[in-house]
Structure 1
Amino acid sequence: MASSPPPLAKSTRPKIGGSRIVILTEGKTDPLTAKTANVMLRCRGDDVVAVLDSTQAGKTAEELLGVGGDTPIVASLDDVALIDGKGPDTLLIGVATAGGKIPPEWRALCLDAVRRGMSVVSGMHQFLSDDAELVAAAAAAGVQLHDVRKNNEKEVATRLDLTDDCLRVLTVGQDCSVGKMLSALEIARGLERSGVDAKFVATGQTGIMVEGDGLPIDCVVSDFVNGACEKLVRQNLSHEVMVVEGQATITHPRFSAVSLGLLHGTNPHAMIYVYEAGRDAMRGMEYLPLPTHRQVIDAYEHMAAFGNPAKVIGIAMNSRKLSAEAAEVERERMRAEFGLPVADPIRHGPDELVEAILAYKKSRN
């Protein structure tokens, strides 16, 4: 199906899920809740045949999510075959819910998909493989239940063997769900287009679904988060630059632990700060105001200094709520305040942030 904005260049990386994916967003097809769906449509749009939401059937992904072009919203799996006469091969849960719980009413949809011979991919904290009936049905149908967040990481951090040959860049944010993953992905691909051997390092479920590898850092036992991050770094030291997907923020009352573990575990050389223009309250805790950009940047740079004295070298602005004209005003305001390159990686492209990383890389040689 067509995607808008244009999808990233096709990747030869291993895929999670098949090439005829139906994304499940039942009753939750909005850009924030369905952020997994949003990114899959943008980055793997050619593999997506439909979005399943009976409450929005007849509309398109573009209408509801601002991406995905004419990818149809369907009411049931029966409707998918009507699109082109072919059946789907994968049902992918496309939302992020509080606590990672699968809505109880979706269990029947997953079971129906399995019995139709479809694999099911989930990035939730609640694992499909813990459901005995689903496991038995999958075995009988010869299909897979893929729990992207499931892991057995048991290593603590050591700060050993982290060479400086590969530049480590971490995206950090003012809040949750501001675009850290997509910014990291766009920047990594931009570096590749510039001739740099760059690697997008996925640390969350959606990034893993796109990249085909990585670790679900927010589902690692707390003592082993830093060690799991170090492991990711060691696995990717053969590249010139690794752009690590950030998680949440160290200033969020709910999720600061994983954010700090990611910062200290990856021990970055530099950071890209990500925020959403127009947001003034914390995601999921809207009764709490967001700290200022300066407060968050200072906090990250202060905590990073216990490893590498990493600085924020660029700002990725999520301007989805703004008009093109308002986005330019906001961009110039942030440039003036912080003296740093500022760009919305989707609206403006990542080149300005790529150039900041290349300049920083050159300064270290």
Structure 2
Amino acid sequence: MSQTISDLQTPPFVPPSAVDNADALPDLMSYRRIVVATDFANAPQSSKTAWSLLRYRRDDIVAVLDPELPFATAGDAFGHGGSIPIVRSFDEVATPDALFIGVSPAGGRLPRPLRSAIAASIREGIDVVAGLHDFLRDDDEFSLAAAASGSRLIDVRRNSERTTATGASFRPGCLRIHTVGHDCSVGKMVASAEIDLALRRRGVDSKFLATGQTGIMISGAGIPIDCVVSDFVNGAAERLVLEHDEHDVLVIEGQGSAVHPAYSGVTVGLLHGAAPDGLILCYEAGRQRMKGLEHIKIPPLEKFVSLYETLATFRNPCRVIGIAMNSRRLDSDAADIERERVSAELGLPVCDVCRDGADLLADAILSLRESVIR
């Protein structure tokens, strides 16, 4: 199934609190000759931002920059991007208009090997777009060089959110669907984007709402919810939904996991702020230990169904309506067996949106809409 960013593109959403403010997000969709820098660690599976950019913005990318990857093309290294070349130096690319940092390291720290690529881009007056917690604009070396060259340093996680949630009512005709996970980095963003695409292919007025750096970089809009001050997480999510509830369906990207000791706060805040009507539970088949905390075992999926429904329903009547399975560790036969097993155990539709498409989940959403929207 071929996907392009034109399917996801909508006018950029700029929060009212950011208008006329240095934190306002510029039009990320205006870039048409992007170089994506990865982690220089010979580990393409760790560069999930690069993977998603190659899947959803392939037509806007001219090269992947990584001197350590033993591949000639993005397709060989990441499974997406086809013949887009992997280059060893920024100098090998003719007339790029932006360098996108394609890594999502733990803690959002800037990998030191990427500094030289960023510095080279800035010297040439090329804009740099990053989704890290280490803000480029706070780096004296980068800021001084950018002031001299005219390069823009765009930190998509920088924000000015200062609104608490009010428990506002949303437009009755707007169905809110939210992806939640059994752990971090299990495919919530991809599931959200694919569900939105599947709905819009059917003519449904659907909108993907990004809440993380990768989603913002592929769609050009959203709120970096994991970089919002904790008191304002719920309010930021609530306002993001209110700003877009003219659509018939909102597919709201989830973050973290409600049981992860490090990230549960942002997960629950987002869940209560968005007040979804339906949930898609995302999980990775075969993963038994929490990301970054391997001494902690992940509970069974049925416990997550109960937990998320309980948490969500305190804010708005809600239930889990489908399962998005990440089967990257399985071959196709094993994935089929896993899908059938989980569906039978939970009594819910299950699919891997990358392998199978998202039509089963789109069906579940439309069925929910018929029962909820009157």
CA distance, structure 1, for counterparts of residue 43 and residue 81 of structure 2: 13
Provide the residue aligned with 1:6 in structure 2. Answer: 2
Question: Aligned in 2, Cα 1:41/1:29: closer, same or farther, shift over 3 Å?
Answer: farther
- 1:353 lines up with 2:365 in the alignment: no
- 2:52 corresponds to which of 39, 43, 50: 39
Equivalent position SS for 2:245:
coil
- Seen in structure 2, the aligned counterparts of structure 1 residues 65 and 172 have a Cα distance that, compared at 3 Å, is same
Please state whether the residue corresponding to 2:36 is helix, strand or coil.
strand
Higher deviation after alignment, 53-62 or 278-287? 53-62
Q: Which residue of 2 aligns with 1:291?
A: 299
The structural deviation recorded for 1:66 is 2.0
Query: Which amino acid is 1:6 matched to?
Result: S
Q: TM-score, normalised on structure 1?
A: 0.94
Query: After the TM superposition, which residues 131-170 of structure 1 pair with which residues of structure 2 at under 5 Å, given as runs?
Result: 131-170=139-178
Alignment partner, residue 105 of structure 1: 113
Does the 8 A contact of 1:28 with 1:95 survive in 2? no
Instruction: State the distance in 2 between where 1:23 and 1:164 align.
Output: 41
Aligned match of 1:23:
36
Amino acid at match of 1:88: P
How many angstroms apart in 2 are the aligned matches of 1:289 and 1:161?
Answer: 37
What is the identity, as a one-letter code, of the residue corresponding to 2:10? R
Matched residue of 2:100: which SS? Answer: strand
Task: Give the one of 233, 244, 248 matched to 2:256.
Answer: 248
Equivalent runs, 1:209-288 vs 2, <5 Å: 209-288=217-296
Match of 2:201 in 1: 193
Secondary structure of 2:283 counterpart: strand
Deviation, structure 1 residue 171: 0.3
- In the alignment, the residues of structure 2 paired with residue 315 and residue 246 of structure 1 have an alpha-carbon distance, to the nearest angstrom, of 14
* Residue of structure 2 in register with 1:83 after alignment: none
| Pairwise CA distance, 1:252 | 0.7
Letter in 1 for 2:67: S
Structure 2 residue aligned with 1:120: 128
8 A contact 2:4–2:58 mirrored in 1: no
One-letter code aligned to 1:25: T
Q: 1:203 aligns with which of 208, 211, 214?
A: 211
Residues 41, 69 of structure 2: 8 Å contact kept: no
Following TM superposition, the consecutive aligned residue runs of length 4 or more in structure 1 with deviations greater than 4 angstroms are none
Q: Deviations over 1:181-237 (max 9, x none)?
A: 010011011111111100000000010111111100000000000000011010011
Q: Percent identity?
A: 49
Give the conservation status (yes or no) of the 8 Å contact 1:57–1:75: no
Whole-angstrom distance in 1 between the partners of 2:320 and 2:179:
9
- 1:10 alignment partner, SS class: helix
Q: Deviations over 1:19-70 (max 9, x none)?
A: 1111111324535420000000000011111111111154322222222222
How far off its partner does 1:359 sit?
0.5
Aligned residue for 1:68?
81
Cα distance change on mapping 1:311 and 1:223 into 2, 3 Å: same
Contact 1:203 1:244 in 2 (8 A): yes
Letter of the 2:75 partner, please give it. E
Aligned residues: 356
CA distance in 1, matches of 2:42, 2:57: 18
Q: CA RMSD in A?
A: 1.5
Q: Normalising by structure 2, report the TM-score.
A: 0.92
Please tell me the residue identity of whatever aligns with 1:48.
Answer: I
Give the distance between the partners of 1:280 and 1:66, measured in 2 at CA: 25
Secondary structure, counterpart of 2:148 in structure 1: helix
CA distance in 2, matches of 1:193, 1:298: 32
| Partner SS for 1:105 | helix
For structure 1, which segment, 319-328 or 197-206, has the greater mean C-alpha deviation from structure 2 after superposition? Answer: 319-328
Indicate whether 1:53 and 2:66 are aligned.
yes
Is the contact made by 1:319 and 1:344 (CA closer than 8 Å) also made in structure 2? yes
Give the 3-state SS of the residue equivalent to 1:23 in structure 2: strand
CA–CA distance in 2 between the matches of 1:291 and 1:359? 29
The gaps in structure 1 that reach 5 residues or longer are 81-85
1:359 aligns to what SS in structure 2?
helix
Distance in 2 between the 1:315 and 1:241 partners? 18
After superposition, give the CA deviation of every residue in 1:287-330 in whole Å (9 maximum; x if it has no partner): 22211111122111111121112110011111112111111111
Do 2:71 and 2:77's aligned partners in 1 also have CA atoms closer than 8 Å? Answer: no
1:284 partner amino acid: G
SS of 2:28's partner is: coil
